[in-house]
Amino acid sequence: MWISKRGFARRAVRCCAAAAMILTGSMVATVQADEQAAAKAGEAAGKVEIGINEYEDTAKKRPVDKSVTRLGEKPEDKSTTDHAKLKELQGPFSSGPEVTKACLGCHNKAGHQFIKNKHWTWKYHNPKTGQDLGKSVLVNNFCTNAAGNEGMCAQCHAGYGMTDARTYDFKNEENIDCLVCHESTGTYYKLPPTPGNKACSVMFEGKKPIDYTKVAQSVTLPGRNNCGACHFYGGGGDNVKHGDLSSALFKPSKKIDVHMGEDGENFSCIICHVGEGHEWAGSRYAPIAKDTTKSKPGLPRQTATCESCHGVEPHPMSLMGIKLNDHTDRVACETCHIPEYATGGVATKIHWDWRTAGKLKNGEGYREEGYIQGNGEPRHTYKSIKGNFKYGENLKPIYKWFNGTEIYTTVHDKFDPSKPVEINHLEGSPDDPDSRIWPFKKMVTIQPYDKGNNTLVYMHLWGDDDDAFWGNYKFDRAIARGMKDFNLPYSGEFGFVETWSYWPIVHMVQPKENALSCQECHAREGRLKDLKGFYMPGRDRNEWIDRIGIFIVLATLLGVLGHGLLRILFSRGRSH
């Protein structure tokens, strides 16, 4: 596999300079406990690379999967068109928009459909909360904001040439990138739309030119590698953001995910994220936390929930099955069926400290490797452009009541900086019938904020100018510029605030053999020990009832012992 080969190649050239890196505490003491891994980490620690090189994986040849994109017998026979034979696709093509034009020539409604899609608009209006969300406006606790940094971030925009979302022509359908989702050679890649600071030039070097004719003829329904090219690398690298979406899912075994495993169902993403007309199920901005819709067998439903296939009573009709089916109204399937995330050897970022960003070596930004993940690849624990990171693998989720409503802290919202700021507050409680217990990854970050106005800030990270943080390493200038570009008030003084974000854990699903045992939660110190406000057998007790009960039993015991003792004493008295 390409990943491990790369890992081996890197290790071969690694200097083993500094175990000191481990002592800095940037290596998180998480699950990767075996000595071999620790030895590898020591070997890798302290490797320093100069320059800025981000998202290299998304611009690499992807491992093409032959995943199942249609259900049923011999799905490959169901396609009615071999695109390689179409005269419209004989080319030659020399650019993406040329290919798109050819696509839209036949698929003359696809463009109308796609320009409404989040992958294109980067906008989402949540009708329930009234919030305007989407990549174009939100601040997260990874690289913070795409707004103003489209020159870099739009590498994962499903269109061509979005250098600035404010001026981009969202009506121009010929700028839709059909290939990134539909090509199947694995040779297509995207680069950041603008070159950025000169220190970033390495990101554009040594790329093999794309054979647009070949990739255009390869189009088909999206496989895991298409979706994964962006979604596995969210937040700045492999599995950085989600924790349950990593390159381990390109060609996973059943052990990593029961549905996607190549030795099992080998599902592509679109088997669950169903959709027609370029709109598909599975929104993270407005997820379905409790799916109670009863569907008739065979009736297609445009939802990505477990229940849409498995129903609300998925367990067999045994005593145990009935008891488990009792849980589905209060516990999400994922809670039991995803015991751990960031499995399969790819770590996820769990802690990010922006405060240390901007350190230089000989006037240049640099990166340090300090963590070797399960598959042998090193991960950066420090980057001048981003600060320090901690990683984790095979992590237990945290659990929260969730009803599907998330309240985001946007760049406009004021907060109390003395407490951690929830980037996406999760609504839900045990008293709410629409809430269920869900598993989440919790991302903790220390990131810049406006000290005067108590708001989050936009940072100008990317650009060939004197303000862009990536290249100039000045927070004050990057923030001032980032806010000014969007006419946002900025007090001129920034500080750092702890932020939390929650990422629903929904992939890396395990079959019943590996699902959580009851004991994992139904115990005093179980996984749900921090969830308050409801009675859970095996975890909870009424302390007063326990005290009264123990008192009754002890009093009874003392009573009979006293009675017995008196009998013995009196009988002795009598025998004398």
Binding residues for another protein, rule: CB under 8 A, are: 319-320, 322-323, 325-326, 329-330, 430-433, 517-519, 522-524, 533-535, 537-542, 545-546, 548-550, 552-553, 556-557, 559-560, 563-564, 566-567, 570-571, 574
Q: Closer CB to another protein, residue 71 or residue 560?
A: 560
Are the C-beta atoms of 440 and 527 separated by less than 8 Å?
no
Q: Kindly state the smallest distance separating residue 396's Cβ from another protein, in Å.
A: 17
For residue 431, how many other CB atoms are within 10 A of its CB?
9
Q: Kindly state the smallest distance separating residue 322's Cβ from another protein, in Å.
A: 8
Q: Kindly state the smallest distance separating residue 527's Cβ from another protein, in Å.
A: 12
The pair of structure tokens assigned to 463 is: 């650009």
Q: Kindly state the smallest distance separating residue 309's Cβ from another protein, in Å.
A: 22
- Tell how strand 494-504 and strand 421-422 pair up: parallel
Q: Kindly state the smallest distance separating residue 544's Cβ from another protein, in Å.
A: 9
Are the C-beta atoms of 311 and 104 separated by less than 8 Å?
no
Q: Closer CB to another protein, residue 511 or residue 564?
A: 564
Q: Closer CB to another protein, residue 59 or residue 426?
A: 426
Q: Closer CB to another protein, residue 23 or residue 553?
A: 553
Could you tell me which of 192, 181, 175 has the C-alpha nearest to residue 99?
A: 175
Q: Closer CB to another protein, residue 265 or residue 540?
A: 540
Strand partners, 23: none
Q: Closer CB to another protein, residue 203 or residue 331?
A: 331
Q: Which residues contact 467 (CB under 8 A, 6 or more apart)?
A: 460, 474, 477, 478, 480, 481
Q: Closer CB to another protein, residue 174 or residue 432?
A: 432
Q: Closer CB to another protein, residue 39 or residue 558?
A: 558
Q: Kindly state the smallest distance separating residue 83's Cβ from another protein, in Å.
A: 50
| Signed CA dihedral, 249, 253, 257, 263: sign only | positive
φ and ψ of 320, to 5 deg? -65, -45
Are the C-beta atoms of 177 and 230 separated by less than 8 Å?
no
Cα 538 from chain centre:
32
The pair of structure tokens assigned to 456 is: 């989050």
Q: Kindly state the smallest distance separating residue 545's Cβ from another protein, in Å.
A: 5
Which three-class secondary structure state does DSSP give residue 20?
helix
Q: Kindly state the smallest distance separating residue 126's Cβ from another protein, in Å.
A: 24
CA angle (416, 417, 418) in 5-degree steps: 95
The pair of structure tokens assigned to 105 is: 């020539």
